[in-house]
Amino acid sequence: MKKVLPFVIIAGVLAAVFGGGFLLMSPANSPVQQPAVATQPAAANTGAAGPRAAAGGGTQTQQQQGAPAPADNEPPRHVRGQAAAPVLVEEYSDFQCPTCGRMHPVVKQLSAKYPSQVRVAFRHYPLPTIHRNAREAARAAEAAAAQSRFWDMHDMLYDKQAEWSNADPARPFFVKYAQTLGLDAARFQQDIDSSGVAMRVVADERRAAARRIQGTPTFLVNGRELKFEESNTLEKLSAAVERAMGGK
């Protein structure tokens, strides 16, 4: 018995050593890799001052383009009013934006109030993450512009905003408006999908992003950007025009 005992002790020690090593090598004791967690981009904000662009300014398309914004001194393509008018009111706007729709008659009243002093320019700033039909509406206006009817389509899109705004698809309404205006409907449908029309909208989007325009509508009077609270009524826009003309 005494001769066997040392072998029993040795065997026990070896079993303990090999057993511990097995436990250390088991999956339960190996490092655990945590799965990656996908993050969602923050949703664009809306508020009383109208829809706002996503944080950082601009839409996803603008941020992905990477091309430089047009030069600041490049004149707007769409202007109405007398060429010699001393005050230029620029509007960055989204055709589907309800606040823009409410400001549309105000801007027309401003033009009527200052027929020889004010020119009004329109710049596209569709926010498609909020308004799914906004960019196509912008293209519809540019397709009408190709037939020299931008302002007619501009007015119709705002006047009938409630009709097409939530339509899916909205294209039939835009074609109907083109026909109502007497446009060549076949050419209009070709132009609305053309790269030239798309790039004219993108050019305005890039300009808005470069200027860090935060929402729609945004007004600039002779290059000075107005806060929404400075521009959301005819009286306030008129006061900004008077200041630009040197009035009190």
pLDDT tens, residue by residue, 169-190: 999 999 999 999 999 999 999 9
Tell me what percent of the residues of the chain surpass a pLDDT of 90: 69
Distance CA 152, CA 157 (A): 9
Flag whether pLDDT at 14 surpasses 90.
Answer: no
C-alpha span between 120 and 114 (Å, rounded)? 11
What per-residue confidence (pLDDT) applies to 32?
36
Which one-letter DSSP state was computed for residue 230? G
Cα distances from 222 to residues 47, 49, 58, 91, 118, in angstroms, run 26, 21, 22, 11, 10
Structure confidence at residue 226 (pLDDT): 97
Q: Which of 26-35, 49-58, 209-218 has the lowest mean pLDDT?
A: 26-35
91 pLDDT above the threshold of 60:
yes
Domain positions in the chain: 60-244
What are residue 92's phi and psi, to 5 degrees?
-95, 120
Q: Is the pLDDT confidence value at 149 over 80?
A: yes
DSSP label at residue 195 = H
Q: Which residue has the higher pLDDT, 47 or 110?
A: 110
Q: What percent of the chain has pLDDT over 70?
A: 70
pLDDT (mean) for 86-103: 98
C-beta separation of 53 from 214 below 8 A: yes
What's the confidence (pLDDT) of residue 224?
96
CB 94 within 8 A of CB 81: no
pLDDT at 63 over 90: no
Q: What's the mean per-residue pLDDT of the chain? A: 81
CATH architecture, range 60-244: 3-Layer(aba) Sandwich (3.40)
